[in-house]
Every structure is written in C-alpha cells, then in structure tokens.
Amino acid sequence: MEESMLKIDGVSKTYRLGQIGGTTLREELQRRRAKRRGLEDPTRKIGARSHADGEVFTALDNVSLEVKKGERVGLIGHNGAGKSTLLKLITRITAPSAGRIYLNGRVASMLEVGTGFHGELTGRENIYMNGAILGMTKKEIDAKIEDIIDFSEVRQFIDTPVKRYSSGMYVKLAFSVAAHLNSEIMIMDEVLAVGDMAFQNKCIEKMVDVSKAEGRTVLYVSHNMSTIRQLCKRVVVLSHGKVVYDGDVEEGIGVYSGMNLSGDWKIDYQRHPELRWSCGQVVRIRSVEFVNQSYFQVASSKIRMRIRWQSERHVDNVCLRVEVKKPDRTIIGTACGFGINAREDELGEEATFVLDSSGLVPGGYTSNYILFTTDSLGSNTTLDCVRGLDFELVGSDSGFIWNPVNWGHIRFPDLVLE
Amino acid sequence: MNQTQKYKTVITSEHKLFDLHLKETLQYRDLIFLFVKRDFTTKYKQTVLGPLWALIQPLLTTVVFTIVFGNLANLTTADVEGDYVVPGFLFYMIGNVCWSYFSSTLNSTSSTFLSNRGIMGKVYYPRLVSPIATAFSRLITFGIQFALFLAVWAFFLIRGGTSIRLSPMPLLLPLLLLQMMVLSVGCGTIISAATTKYRDLSMLVDFGLQLWQYACPIAYGLQLVPARWTGLYMLNPVTPIITTFRYAVFGFGYFDLGYYLISWGVSIAVFVTGLVLFSRIERTFMDTI
C-alpha cells in the first residue's frame, strides 16, 4: 500500500456570524450589562440582523480526504466552497473547529505571491528569508541557492531589493524557493496566475517532475481548468464546505462545470432582474423558455426557444443574438436572428426561434440573449441583453469520445473523401 | 483505512494548556536569526545617519534628563544614603539604556499579531519566533548603546570625574539582561494576545510605558522614595532590575536579595502566563483579528 501523506479526518471549521473582533472593552462591558438585564444589545447596529448565540457559518463540514505519496491533487469549487479554508487548516494558519488532520512530512505552502518577502531586502536575502519561513535551515538553502536562482530567471537582479521587482519577477522567485524546498507536501493556491505563459508551463512541469521523481505530494487550487488538467491526476470538488466529488480529473471538472448551470428551462426576467444588464429602455425581454422541453438537457440538435418581449414603441428590424458560452463564460459562438418588428403592445409579443446546435459537441453550455438593431451603415445598437438559459447538450453516439480540451467545442461537418 | 501508519504531525481542534511548541520553535532558530538580521538591516534603510540613531537617541535623552531632573529639579541620584554618588550624566544614561531596551521590546512584542498578520495569515511558522526575534534584535541596539555608555564612562574616569570600584556584582549582568528580556517579552505577549480581541490595549501600551518609567528609579535615585513606601515601590519588578543593574555596573548602590528574587518570581510568572496565552491565541487569531 502506498504511503499516505495527508489524512483529513472529519474536519469542520465554523465561524461565528455577525460582528466578531474589532470590539472594544467598553462595548463588551455594555453588552454584558445589557444581557444581564435582559435588554437589547446596545452595540448592535440598528436594523442589523441579530445573530443569536450559537448561530454559526460552517465553512467546512465534516471533510475527510486522504492523499497518498506522489499524488497531484487539484482542489476546485466555486468561491466560498471552502477551498482556501481547507488549505489554511492544512498549513496551520488557523485551527479546525473539529476533526483531525494528519500530516506526514513538511508542508511548503504558497498561498500568495511572495509570502514573507521583505521589500528592502535583496532577492538573495529574501531567498534565505523565505526558505527559513517555509521551514528550511540555512544549510539546506545554501545547497540549493544556485538552482533556485537559475530556475527563477532573475539572476541579473538577484542582488537588487525586491521592492524594485515586477510582480512577475516576484512570483518567479517565490515559486522557485517553494519548488526547491525539501518538503514532502507542496500546496499552491492560484499563485501561477501572475507569471507569463512560458513560466507557468515551466512551473507545472517542475511540479509534475518533483512529484514523479521525488515522490512529493502536490495540492493545487485553481479556477483555471487548463492548468488543473495539465498538472493533476485527481481532483476534489468542494461545494458549500463538503466534498462532492473525488476522483478523475475530467469527470470532476464536469461536476464542477455542471454546478454553474442553473437547470432552469424557463426564465422570467420580471422575477429575476439580476439576470438583466442595465439596458432595456425601449424593448425589454420578458421571458425565455425552451419549447417542448421541461428540462434543461437537450438531446436534439434543433433547440427551440420561445422569447417574449414588450416594447414601448414601434421598432422595425429588431435582431436577436444568442451568444453560446462555456460555463466558465468563454465564448464559443453566436447565432443571429433577423426580421422581428416590435410593436407597441401592452401584453407583449412572442416568437419562437430554432438554434441549430448540430456543430456543438456534448457538454454544458450557458448563453446570453441580446436584442439589437442595425442601421444602414451596419453599426449595432443594443436594446436589451439578458443572461439566458443554460442547457446541457446530451451526446448522440458518434462512435468515439470527443475530447473538448484539445479539439474544441465545435465539431465541423466530417471531412469528405474526394 | 491504514490506522497503523504513524503521522509526523497531527493538527487537532483540541489544545493543551502547556502546548507551547518550544521544541519546534527551536528548530526554527535560523529563522529567528534571519528575522533579527532583517529587523536590524531594514530599520535604518533610507536614513542618512543609519545606526548612528541608536547612539543619538540615548545621548539626547540623557542630556535632557541631566538638565531637567538634575539641574532644574535637582533630584538626588543616590540609591543609598551617604553612598558615593556617580555623576548625573552616567546615572541617567545607564537607566535610560536599560529602560529603552525594556520598553522597546515590550512595545514591539505587544503588536506581534497585528504587525505580522500579513505574513502569519499566509504561512505557518511557530508564532513565538516573532517576539523572540524582536527581543534579540533589540538586544543588538542595547549592545551598541551599552558600548556607548562604557565609552562615556571611560571618558569620565580619565577626566577624573568618577572612580571605579571592583566587586563580583558585574557577574550578575547577563542574568539581569535575561530578566529584562523575560519580563518584557512576557508583558508584550500577554498584551499581544489580548489585542487580537481588544485593540484598546495597544493604545494603552505607549502611554502606560511612559507612566511606568516614572515608577522606576531612572530619573531619580532610590533615595527619593520615602522609607515607608520602599516596600511597595520595590514590588515594581523593573525597579530591582534597574537598581541592581546600576550596582553591578558602578560597583555600589542598592541591592536587596529579597526584592530581587521577588522581581524574578514576577518576571517568570508573567513570562509563563504570556507564553500560555500566546500559544492559546496563536491557533485561531487569524479568525478574529
């Protein structure tokens, strides 16, 4: 059996809701006196929701996880899912409320760019400083310093105070120290985002390398799925403080992407004004829905959508634009519909459009709907734009598995042999 | 599940009262050294006079003390009645050098959590490293200032303004220094633990230290204190340190073993309380600060 490097056993972390800290002794005494007399808390802001004792926010809820030696695990989840809290517990920045974390070796963490760098010290001095903070002894750093400087690509500036460094140089140096550390567990939290593409790739290769060659365990948090794919062999998806998926990378990213889809098949914008951008003065989209469909999963390549709108006055030649996006909101493509004449009508009008998605490969998608007009010179004026329906295209059996990471989300018609 | 496997580190929600991470702190001694070096080298960056400031400060204070308390107020500088009296300048200087070590160490250790929250919120190292490093980096300043005092003293000796008396008391100097360190770090860590919740205390530190200084025989000799109040006065743990320090340096003055031991007792009690509070707070202070 492989050696286990990190075991998280039923760990929870709770925070007290309401105002904590930042309180003065006087306020505390006032509060105590009021409590004794059964009065209302005098220090509470008027109108603020009162938080009774014991009302807590659970950032992590009974999380259990085991990571083996040499594994590269990606930790993904939306904001507030508990990723950073979990890392803070593993790196001992704060203590858990319940449960235990077992570590088998030193932890090198990089939760932010240049942690522990002091602006007045030179790059070289900061390497020693940072190494020592991360738990290395001077002797260990002495042995590695040349490798660190080489890897960081900032040899030219190594004896310059780091306050004169660019942020890219900063992160290069910081990463180099962490990567060369004699630690058994390496924790990275989105630090690579600052470096340029070439350096990012170099870092990921280095991490893969150290985990393969030296058997070091890597725990990586990112919202950038392509780096997760490059680096990790396993992903853990967190949602609302719980582990919802643990296993294969592609499947995990699928689970995570799916969480961003709303699952609605109809949106009424009068009830969801937050889905509307700030236009819609003349013509307003009132609702959109899938036709002949009560679930957001669509199997057919013709997606029928009914759109209702209401107009203040008569507008000719209104066009509709449907922008299809990936769940991470990168655009895939756009379809336009022409020839609507919006009339002034209390009740509003509706039309049904058909989106031909035959080129689109199976997966989860999201969309925006924009109503606009074009003038004779071809320039556009936006009338209204809303966040549209999410849908999941269910694949038909095409004989082989499409790889959207490398092949993209559009499948052109098959090549014709001549 | 592999229950038989031994793990090197266990992080739990429970906390033992005397779990002070002392052994781990010792493993980070390279970091303590680097922090000391960083504190010292970065302190005087972008100043024209650099480390000379460490010399100017006690000299100017001593001059002011000599004028105000010596010449204008004409306060006695004798610790024991009828004893030989050192020149006022030397008297005020040694008192100020000691006090400035004590007060600056206390002051900066008391803001350990507040001033280091940036780095402490991002990476773990034994938190105790910070106050310890502070105490040592202040010790360098103390060393420079004490050397300056010795030079001034030598000047007075050559000029014939004072005399030297031999005694075994200078052997106490390292012990006295250690005590100053222990007491100031103890007070500082208690305050630092409390300031994570109550910021008021950080306001009190500056002001409190100013008042405390006047409760110590620095601007005046012990002789000034009425005999019936001496017992109470000596309970201030800093007082025996200062008087004994002067005795150890000059070779005469006031020394009472009883009060000195009480002062040590208080120092150790404060230190241990500080460590216990500190290690209790350090686990979760990031959540409240």
Q: Do B120 and A23 touch (CB under 8 A)?
A: no
Q: ipTM score here?
A: 0.77
How far apart, in whole angstroms, are the C-alpha atoms of residue A361 and residue A402? 7
Nearest to A24 among B9, B199, B288 (CB): B199
Q: Please check whether residue B163 touches A, CB under 8 A.
A: no
Which has the closest alpha carbon to A7: A57, A54, A74, A63? Answer: A63
How far apart, in whole angstroms, are the C-alpha atoms of residue A98 and residue A378? 63
Question: Which chain A residues are within 8 Å of B288, Cβ to Cβ?
Answer: 20-21
pTM of the model: 0.72
Q: Where are the domains of chain B?
A: 47-288
Nearest to B119 among A98, A115, A135 (CB): A115
- Angstroms from A283 CA to nearest CA on chain B: 49
Which has the closest alpha carbon to A3: A90, A66, A64? Answer: A66
Contacts of A263 (CB under 8 A, 6+ apart): A296, A390
What is the per-residue pLDDT across A13-31, written as a single tens digit (0 to 9) for each? 888 765 554 456 677 777 7
- Give the bridge partners for A284, in sequence order: A310
CATH 2.70.50.60 intervals, chain A: 266-393
Q: Please check whether residue B23 touches A, CB under 8 A.
A: no
Joined together, the tokens standing for residue A405 give 């990471």
Q: What is the pLDDT of residue A51?
A: 46
Which has the closest alpha carbon to A184: A209, A217, A210? Answer: A217
What is the per-residue pLDDT across B205-214, written as a single tens digit (0 to 9) for each? 988 999 999 9
Q: How far is CA B20 from the centre of its chain?
A: 21
3-state DSSP helix/strand/coil % of chain A, to nearest 5: 25, 35, 40
Q: What is the pLDDT along chain B (289 residues), one digit of tens a residue?
A: 444 556 777 877 777 777 777 888 888 888 899 889 888 888 887 778 878 888 898 999 999 999 999 889 888 888 877 777 788 889 999 999 999 999 999 999 998 888 888 788 878 888 899 999 999 999 999 999 999 999 998 998 888 777 777 778 888 899 999 999 999 999 999 999 888 877 778 888 988 999 999 999 998 888 888 888 888 888 899 999 999 999 888 888 888 889 999 999 999 999 999 999 988 888 878 777 6
Instruction: Please tell me the CATH code under which domain A266-393 is placed.
Output: 2.70.50.60
Chain A segment 33-92 residues within 8 A of B by beta carbon are 66, 88-92
Q: Please check whether residue B19 touches A, CB under 8 A.
A: no
CATH 3.40.50.300 intervals, chain A: 4-42+53-257
- Angstroms from B36 CA to nearest CA on chain A: 11
- The secondary structure element, H or E, covering residue A257 is helix A249-260
Instruction: Using only the alpha carbons of chain B, give its radius of gyration.
Output: 21
Q: Please check whether residue A2 touches B, CB under 8 A.
A: no
Instruction: Please tell me the CATH code under which domain A4-42+53-257 is placed.
Output: 3.40.50.300
CB A131 within 8 A of CB A173: no
Contacts of A173 (CB under 8 A, 6+ apart): A114, A117, A123, A126, A127, A152, A154, A162, A165
Contacts of A313 (CB under 8 A, 6+ apart): A282, A344
- The secondary structure element, H or E, covering residue B151 is helix B129-159
- Angstroms from B253 CA to nearest CA on chain A: 43
